Every structure is written in C-alpha cells, then in structure tokens.
Amino acid sequence: MQGKNILLAVSGGIAVYKAVALTSKLTQKGANVKVMMTEHAAQFVPPLSFQVLSRNDVYTDTFDEKESKVVAHIDLADWADLVIVAPATANLIGKMANGIADDMVTTTLLATEAPVWVAPAMNVHMISHPAVVRNIERLYQDGIRFIEPDEGYLACGYIGRGRLEEPEKITARIEEFFQEDKTVLAGKKILITAGGTREKLDPVRYFTNRSSGKMGFQIAEQTMLKGAEVTLVTATRELPIPPNVKAVYVDSAEEMYEAVAHVKEQQDAFVMAAAVADYTPVEVHEHKIKKQSGNLSIQFKRTKDILLSVGETKRSDQVVIGFAAETQNIAENARTKLTKKHADLIVANNVSEPGAGFGVDTNIVTFYFADGREIALPLLDKREVAARITTEISRALDAQHNG
Ligand code: PMT
C-alpha cells in the first residue's frame, strides 16, 4: 500500500469513529490518505481528528476551495488510486445509486474514475429494506465493490447485520487489492455454471435443490476481476450479475447442457459449480396434475452430465474444474468424480457441515487435483474460496502454456 493514494469518504452514522481508526491503519501501512466528510459525518466526529491522523486537509464543503489553482472535487477525484466509502449510510448509497451530486462527497464520487468501494453501516432493517437492496444491486452492477457489513450488536440496540466491517479487515482487503495482479486471466474465456436446475413436472410444479448460486456467482466475479471474459450459465435469477459478466439464464439440466455445449469450444476453462439435477421427470404434464386418492408415482430419467460432456471432449489447452457436493466419504467420492469426469480439479464440499455448501455465504472445501495433490481449506467466505479457485485456474493455464 506504500505510496498509494486512498480517498476515504465518510458519511454520517455512529460508525464514523471506526473511520478514524481506518484512517490511522491506512496511514500506518504507508498509504497517502485524504478524507472527505458529509456534513452529518462531521456532527459525529470533527474533521480535525481525520486531519491529524491523515496529515492532510479534510474536505467537507464543495465550495470551500483550499487551492485556487485546482477545483477541489475534481482534483481529489483524479488524485485517488482507490476511493473507500466508510461508513456508507443508506442515504449516501441511495444518492450514489441515483447519480445525485449535492455535496463534496457525492460530487467527488461522480467525478472519480478510480475503483470505488463501499462499506455500508446501518440498522438491520434498513440494510434489508427493498429500496436499499435495490440501490446496492444497482451500484454493484455499475462496478462498485462492497465490503459486506458484519453481524453483531448495533448502536441502535438491535443485534444483526449492519455493523461496519472492522478497520483491520477493510485495510487487509485494500492491501490485497493493491497486491493482486488484475490481469492474470486477461484474454482467457471462462465458463461457470451456477444455481440449482429446475426440472418441470407440470405447469405449476418443478423439482429443484437448495443451491442459491452464491458459490458460482462469486467465482464469476473473482475471475472477471482478474481480467477473464466470463460466461455465467445460471439457473438462479435472484442474484445480481457481476459487472462485465455475460449471463445466460437457464432452468433445466437439459437447457444448461445446451447452453454449455453451444460455447464450450471457445472456452479456456470451465468451473461447474451448479447443482444440476441428476434426474428429471420422464413426462412433463401439459396440465396441472389433479389430486387423487392414494399415492402418486412419478417416473424419472437421467439427465445429461454436463461436467462429463466437457471433460470427455476437453482439449489439452482447456482446464476443467468440477465440484462435488458430498455428505459422506468425501475424499473417495471426489477422487472418483475427478477420474470419471476427466476433470483437472474437483472442489469438494461436505454439504452437511455447518457453514459449508448450500445457501450460506461461507464454504469449507478441499481441492483434489488430477496429479494427486490435495489442499484442504478452512472455513472461508465464498468470495475467498472463489479467489483460491481463480488462482488454481491461472496456475493450470500457465502450466499448460509452459508445456
Ligand atoms: O449455490 P450455493 O448455495 O452457493 O451452494 C454451493 C454448492 C453447494 C451448490 C456448490 O458448492 C457445489 O457443491 N456445487 C456442485 C453441486 C453438485 O451437483 O454436486 P454433484 O456432486 O452432484 O456433482 C458433481 C459435479 O458434476 C458438479 O460440478 C456438478 O455441477 C456436475 N454435474 C452434475 C450433474 C449433471 N447432470 N451435470 C453436471 O455437470
């Protein structure tokens, strides 16, 4: 972080005191920090605290031009290598999502071309309010990155999600960002599957599973951030598509198979994170099946195995990664899948473990490589698991390239 210019935007919530600690952590790491504050933020902590810790002027008023040779909000916007908004209130997020520029902070945020990160902090009900969710989604699609709020005791007395992430963790994420090579997958085409397929029975019923799509979407985002051209074939429609990722929506295993088959020739790597149905009803009824006395039997047939279809036809310059969702004999089952499906790597998760598998934001995975290596990872955010998978993709592509 040495010598990097970080612009910290502070909006008005009780978590402003943590922004003071963040300023200190960032400057200790060698970053040049400048701070701008909303009027409300300055009611919680005076600008002087930030001025002393950053050893720079603090900006609160668009019309308070400190230097006559430059226009402050443009100068600051151009100066920054990264802008971090912490804490970001619901109000500020709303203004950002709608392009409003009515003070120093919002005007500068519109003027900057630097990456902008937002660390929200607010009451648990506010962060899940549809308007805030909508605004966050919109900003996410505009390419803004978020540092998820933590769960815990909130200043308003509630316990829940909404607490500003700890300054140490924000600092670590920023440090990682400056260290990472953002071009390791430049020019590479990567196809990712995500979500649980839906197998139709009649016009009102289908069979599915508990996959939320979170794991696959995180892989799509992480590979995109490393410069890859990403196609996300998804059976989930609930999650926002990461910026610059091409989404192909599907419902059934058959549709997912077709979507993958259509583009598989052009891909450099595949990551099959979707939970694909192994069976689908033999008959799809044209009309709703009516209640009747006694039991109902439904006959199922096998679906096509998408991972297998990609593994079988894989060229020597393509990398194939599959998942294994297991509840027992993890290593044995994962290794069997690795061989049977001709994959280079199987990412196995024990989906019966707390914090792993379906629906949650974390996962516990073990990598089983075709060359016999094994790497067991601890409980990590799915974002971090996705980052590790991204590193393995880039290593495998490099290894192939170097013969
Ligand atoms: O979506 P989340 O809520 O974040 O949950 C993540 C997850 C648990 C879904 C994910 O981590 C995971 O384990 N995905 C694979 C789920 C699965 O179907 O596992 P499986 O062991 O049944 O299948 C093995 C592999 O074959 C998988 O890569 C699967 O995508 C693939 N497969 C399976 C059947 C089929 N017909 N075609 C396939 O391509």
Report how far ligand 1's centroid is from the alpha carbon of 1 (Å).
38
Indicate if ligand 1 lies below 6 Å from the C-beta of 325.
yes
Q: Quick check: CB of 213 below 6 Å from ligand 1?
A: yes
* Confidence at residue 157, expressed as pLDDT on a 0 to 100 scale: 81
Q: Are 266 and 188 a contacting pair, CB within 8 Å?
A: no
Ligand 1 contacts CB of residue 238 (under 6 A):
no
Atom of ligand 1 nearest to the CA of 213: 1
Reading the block at residue 142, the tokens are 């505009």
Cβ count within 10 A of residue 218: 26
Instruction: Note the CATH architecture for domain 189-402.
Output: 3-Layer(aba) Sandwich (3.40)
Q: Which residues contact 274 (CB under 8 A, 6 or more apart)?
A: 193, 194, 195, 196, 197, 211, 216, 233, 234, 235, 256, 306
Asked whether the bond before 87 is cis by omega within 30 degrees of 0, the reply is yes
Catalytic residues: 156
Is there a common fold for 5-179 and 189-402? yes
CA distance 57 to 80: 15
User: How many Å apart are CA 245 and CA 232, to the nearest integer?
Assistant: 7
The residue extents of the domains of the chain are 5-179, 189-402
What is the whole-number distance in angstroms between the Cα of residue 245 and the centre of ligand 1? 21
In terms of Cβ atoms closer than 10 Å to its own Cβ (0-12, 13-18, 19+), residue 102 is exposed
pLDDT at 202: 98
Helix pair 90-97, 130-141: axis angle to 10 deg:
50
Q: Is the CB of 324 under 6 A from ligand 1?
A: yes
338 close to ligand 1 (CB < 6 Angstrom): no
Residue nearest to atom 11 of ligand 1 (CA): 357
Q: Is 322 in the pocket of ligand 1 (CB under 6 A)?
A: yes
> Which of 192, 307, 345, 350 to mutate for ligand 1's pocket (most ligand atoms within 8 Å of CB)?
307
- Residues, the chain: 403
Determine which residue's CA is closest to atom 24 belonging to ligand 1.
Answer: 324
C-beta of 233 in contact with ligand 1 (< 6 A): no
End-to-end CA distance of the chain: 35
Please give the chain's pLDDT, 403 residues, in tens.
Answer: 899 999 999 999 999 999 999 999 999 999 999 999 999 999 999 999 999 999 999 999 999 888 888 999 999 999 999 999 999 999 999 999 999 999 999 999 999 999 999 999 999 999 999 999 999 999 998 989 999 898 888 877 888 889 999 999 999 999 999 988 889 999 999 999 999 999 999 999 999 999 999 999 999 999 999 999 999 999 999 999 999 999 999 999 999 999 999 999 999 999 999 999 999 999 999 999 999 999 999 999 999 999 999 999 999 999 999 999 999 999 999 999 999 999 999 999 999 999 999 999 999 999 999 999 999 999 999 999 999 999 999 999 998 877 7
Task: Round to whole Å and give the CA distance between 23 and 31.
Answer: 9
**pLDDT of res. 311:** 97
- pLDDT value for 139: 94
> pTM here?
0.88
Distance 278 CA to ligand 1 centre (A): 10
Residue of 270, 323, 338, 341 best suited for mutating to test ligand 1, as the one with most atoms within 8 Å of CB: 323
List the residue whose alpha carbon is closest to atom 10 of ligand 1.
Answer: 273
- From ligand 1's centre to the CA of 361, what distance in Å? 16
- Amino acid letter, residue 399: A
**CA dihedral for 166, 170, 171, 173, sign (positive or negative):** positive
Distance between CA 276 and CA 235 in Å, rounded? 9
Distance CA 226, CA 118 (A): 20
314: CB partners within 8 A, 6+ apart: 320, 342
Supply the pLDDT for residue 155.
78
Distance in angstroms (rounded) separating the CA atoms of residues 240 and 134: 10
* CATH number for the domain formed by residue range(s) 5-179: 3.40.50.1950
Q: What is the dihedral of CA 203, 209, 211, 213, to 10 degrees?
A: -30
Token representation of residue 96: 């950002």
pLDDT at 150: 86
pLDDT at 250: 98
The answer, yes or no, to whether any atom of ligand 1 lies below 6 A from the CB of 274, is yes
Q: Is the CB of 199 under 6 A from ligand 1?
A: no
Of 80, 92, 110, the C-alpha closest to 39 is 92
Taking CA atoms, 142 is separated from 54, 98, 122, 285, in Å, by: 29, 11, 22, 42
Atom of ligand 1 nearest to the CA of 236: 1
Question: Do residues 28 and 2 touch, judged by C-beta distance below 8 A?
Answer: no
Atom nearest to 253 CA in ligand 1: 36
